[in-house]
Amino acid sequence: MFIADFRKAFLVVVILFLSACVPGSTQVKTAMSAQTQWPVDLDPALGWMRPAMNACARQFPDKNLIVNERETAGDAPLYLSWGETPDPENASIFELGGNDFAVIVNRDNPVNEISYHTLAAIYSGKINNWQEIDSTLSNQVPLEVWQYEFVSSLYERFSIMSDLAGARGGVQQLAPDPKTMLEAVQTNPAAIGWVPAGWVKTDVKRLIITDSPPEKMFLPILAYLKEKPDDFETAWLLCLQQ
C-alpha cells in the first residue's frame, strides 16, 4: 500500500515537472521563430567590421543578422563596400565613414616609414632588398613582397592607389584575404604587405607613407540599399557610424 502510494506521488511530481518545462521550451521556440532574418552582403575588405555589425544588430532582438562576404552586391537588400562599386539597380547610397590603406611590416623590422614613390618601386619590382630602403640594413635581406590575388577587388584598388595598374613586377607572394596577409607579415621579418587599416593589430607595424596623395590613400565605406531604408536599417546604419 505504501509502495503504491509512493509511486502515485512520484508520478504526479514527474507530470508537474514536465508540465512546467513545456511552456519554457515553447517560449524559446516562439522567440526563435519570431526573429526575422536580415541578410547583408559585405565586401571582404571590410571583414574587420563584423564585431561592430553584430553588436549593432543585437540591439534589435527580433532581427537575425546574416552576413555574406562578396566582392560585389548580391541578392541582399544592403551591401557594404570599401570604395565605390557598380551600383545595384536603383540603389540608395549612404557614406558611413572611411578607411585608409595601411602598409605593414613585421614588428621587428627597424624601418618606420617609406615614401609613396618607394612603395610603388617595391611593388613594381624595382626595389628588391631592404638595404635599398634603409642603408643600415644588410643587402642579404631580400624583400618578401605580399599582394592579393590579381583577380580580386583588393588588388585592383591597390593598383589604382599606387598608380601601378598593369605594372606589376618582381616576385610577389599572394594572399587570398587580409587575415592571411596579416599572418604572413607577422611571421616573416622580411615581409611587406598591406591591408585596409581597420584590420591592423598590434602584432604588425604600420609604416608611415610620406608624400602620399591623401585622396589616394583613403576610400569611403559605402552602404548600398536597394530600397529606402526602414526604421531598423536606419538605426543600424547610424549605430555603425559611431
CATH number at residue 45: 3.40.190.10
> Would you say residue 149 has pLDDT above 50?
yes
Tally of structural domains, the chain: 2
| Shared-domain flag, residues 183 and 113 | yes
Q: What percent of the chain has pLDDT over 90?
A: 56
Q: Which residue has the higher pLDDT, 128 or 6?
A: 128
Report the pLDDT value the prediction gives residue 139, as an integer from 0 to 100.
Answer: 74
In a domain, 87, yes or no: yes
The boundaries of the domain holding residue 44 are 36-98+220-241
| Shared-domain flag, residues 75 and 114 | no
What element of type H or E holds 76? none
Total number of residues shown for the chain: 242
pLDDT, average across residues 89-93:
79
Q: CA 95, 237, 151, 102: dihedral to nearest 10 degrees?
A: 70
pLDDT, average across residues 151-167:
81
In a domain, 176, yes or no: yes
| Shared-domain flag, residues 86 and 118 | no
pLDDT, average across residues 158-171:
73
Give the Cα separation of 118 and 133 in Å (integer).
Answer: 8
Amino acid code (one letter) for 102: A
Q: What is the pTM of this model?
A: 0.81
Report the pLDDT value the prediction gives residue 151, as an integer from 0 to 100.
Answer: 82
In a domain, 3, yes or no: no
pLDDT, average across residues 78-99:
87
In a domain, 43, yes or no: yes
> Would you say residue 132 has pLDDT above 70?
yes
pLDDT, average across residues 166-183:
84
Report the pLDDT value the prediction gives residue 195, as an integer from 0 to 100.
Answer: 96
| Shared-domain flag, residues 108 and 210 | yes
Report the pLDDT value the prediction gives residue 12, as an integer from 0 to 100.
Answer: 42
Report the pLDDT value the prediction gives residue 30, as an integer from 0 to 100.
Answer: 44
| Shared-domain flag, residues 40 and 132 | no
| Shared-domain flag, residues 113 and 160 | yes
In a domain, 52, yes or no: yes
Average per-residue pLDDT in the chain? 84
| Shared-domain flag, residues 192 and 108 | yes
For the stretch 182-232, pLDDT in tens is 999 999 999 999 999 999 989 999 999 998 888 889 999 999 998 888 889
| Shared-domain flag, residues 94 and 63 | yes
| Shared-domain flag, residues 79 and 53 | yes
pLDDT, average across residues 29-33:
46
| Shared-domain flag, residues 60 and 147 | no
| Shared-domain flag, residues 62 and 139 | no
> Three-state secondary structure along the chain?
CHHHHHHHHHHHHHHHHHHHHHHHHHHHHHHHHHCEEEEEEECHHHHHHHHHHHHHHCCCCCEEEEEEECCCCCCCCEEEEECCCCCCCCCEEEEEEEEEEEEEECCCCCCCEEEHHHHHHHHCCCCCEHHHCCCCCCCCCECEEEEECCCCHHHHHHHHHCCCCCCCCCCEEEECCHHHHHHHHHHCCCEEEEEEHHHCCCCCEECEEECCCCCCCEEEEEEEECCCCCHHHHHHHHHHHC
In a domain, 168, yes or no: yes
> Would you say residue 25 has pLDDT above 50?
no
| Shared-domain flag, residues 206 and 228 | no
